[in-house]
């Protein structure tokens, strides 16, 4: 959407040696990975959406999707746009009719919804300084 953004995709969910859940966002060339620590519930929601699994009862992200669908809205895109004090920030862009709404969001929630809607995910180019080579990560993949 904006020139200062790089499209990324969810390369996977990992768990590090301290049992932190990490969503790994990779550029299209898979040269760099932006690891973001997320909660276990959000990790599960992202994994379920990636795998097309529908829980027997709606989780929070399913509830949000159900509400958006009911209102005739959809996720247009997500932009991971900033980091402050080791906390990442994101904006969720929702489309309803001819309007796009920008909503402040935790990256994990925005990513879960983007995956559910198959919407593109971007990161601000300034965040490339926080990326790593995937071979440098010492994590187990899910």
Q: How large is the average pLDDT for residues 39-62?
A: 90
What backbone torsions phi and psi does residue 45 show, to the nearest 5 degrees?
-65, -45
Domains defined along the chain, listed by start? 3-130 (3.10.690.10)
Q: How large is the average pLDDT for residues 62-66?
A: 90
Which residues have C-beta within 8 Å of that of residue 1, sequence separation ≥ 6?
77, 79, 93, 122
pTM value > 0.85 = yes
Q: Based on DSSP, count helices (H) and strands (E) in the chain, helices before strands.
A: 3, 8
Cβ atoms of 134 and 11 closer than 8 Å: yes
Q: What is the pLDDT of residues 87-117, one digit of tens each?
A: 999 999 999 999 999 999 999 999 999 999 9
Examine the pLDDT at 125 and tell me if it is beyond 60. Answer: yes
Distance CA 94, CA 132 (A): 30
């Amino acid at each position: 959407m904006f020139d200062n953004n790089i499209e990324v995709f969810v390369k996977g969910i990992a768990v590090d040696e301290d049992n932190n859940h990490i969503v790994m966002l990779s550029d299209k060339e898979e040269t760099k990975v932006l690891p973001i620590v997320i909660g276990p519930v959000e990790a599960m929601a992202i994994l379920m959406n990636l795998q097309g699994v529908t829980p027997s009862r709606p989780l929070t992200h399913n509830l949000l999707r159900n509400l958006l669908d009911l209102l005739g809205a959809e996720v247009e895109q997500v932009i991971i746009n900033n980091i402050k004090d080791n906390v990442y920030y994101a904006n969720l862009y929702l489309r309803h009719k001819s309007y796009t709404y920008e909503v402040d969001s935790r990256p994990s929630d925005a990513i879960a919804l983007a995956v559910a809607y198959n919407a593109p995910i971007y990161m601000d180019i300034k965040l490339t300084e926080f990326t790593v080579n995937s071979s440098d990560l010492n994590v187990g993949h899910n």
